[in-house]
Structure 1
């Protein structure tokens, strides 16, 4: 089981990564997912599961921000896919 410090570091890293993906998605469009071997759906799933796990294990403001960022990723992806 990870220590509280390890969970905090993991959460910080994943929040930073998700925020960078969201920024790139807004700037570059759906092609941002081309850089991930897992592809769009699995990348969104992965970050969603990380957000859920972090919120369950350490329900902090950081976990909330990660969940909000993942929701923004999903929303922006959907908007771009439908041309909205």
Structure 2
């Protein structure tokens, strides 16, 4: 372990952790009782491990706040507390700020198009988010099999594979981060499990 004379993550990051924990306090991961905050910490950690800035790491903690916790008013509060740079990334990472949310396929198609022109900062955070989500799907698919898909509003695994493959194509164009390789590997593993065991000759 090495150390620096200047902290890489300051008080604002600690404040964002506390704010995110309170904002998502009653939220759990789909199909279980795991606190949703664990996902937010994982996304922020991936951003940091990929060389991201404090601004990006804070946005990683808050990337789902607009979608899940109040829409535009929450985005306004984030801007007031953490600044316009964080708010811009969070906004770009949200596939909707509408309450209630539009249909799943419509949101995902729009988000894929949006991501092609999103800022580099937003691409970093979005990529970390998708890596952590894909890892969770792979882990639970190994543990629970096809029952996993019943926890989603969209229960067809091919729809989820379409979404992740479409995202992967955009990320491959936008960044050379090692997280792209991680997403590709994870999606391939999910696809193999969805396809089922191959039958030999």
TM-score of the aligned structures, taking structure 2 as reference length: 0.38
Q: Does 1:44 align with 2:161?
A: yes
* Partner in structure 1 of residue 10 of structure 2: none
Say which SS state the counterpart of residue 37 (structure 1) adopts. coil
Say which SS state the counterpart of residue 42 (structure 1) adopts. helix
* Partner in structure 1 of residue 121 of structure 2: 5
Q: Give the deviation of 1:35 after TM superposition.
A: 2.1
Q: Give the deviation of 1:37 after TM superposition.
A: 2.6
For 2:173 and 2:146, the matched residues in 1 are separated by 30
Equivalent pair of 1:36/1:43 in contact (CA under 8 Å): no
Runs of 4+ in 1 over 6 A off after TM superposition: none
Say which SS state the counterpart of residue 59 (structure 1) adopts. coil
Say which SS state the counterpart of residue 196 (structure 2) adopts. helix
For 1:33 and 1:74, the matched residues in 2 are separated by 13
Deviations 1:26-56 (A, max 9, x none): 0000111122233211011101111111111
Unmatched 5+ stretches in structure 1: none
Q: Does 1:24 align with 2:134?
A: no
For 1:78 and 1:60, the matched residues in 2 are separated by 28
Using CA pairs under 8 Å that are at least 6 residues apart, name the structure with larger relative contact order, 1 or 2.
1
Which has a greater percent of helix? 1
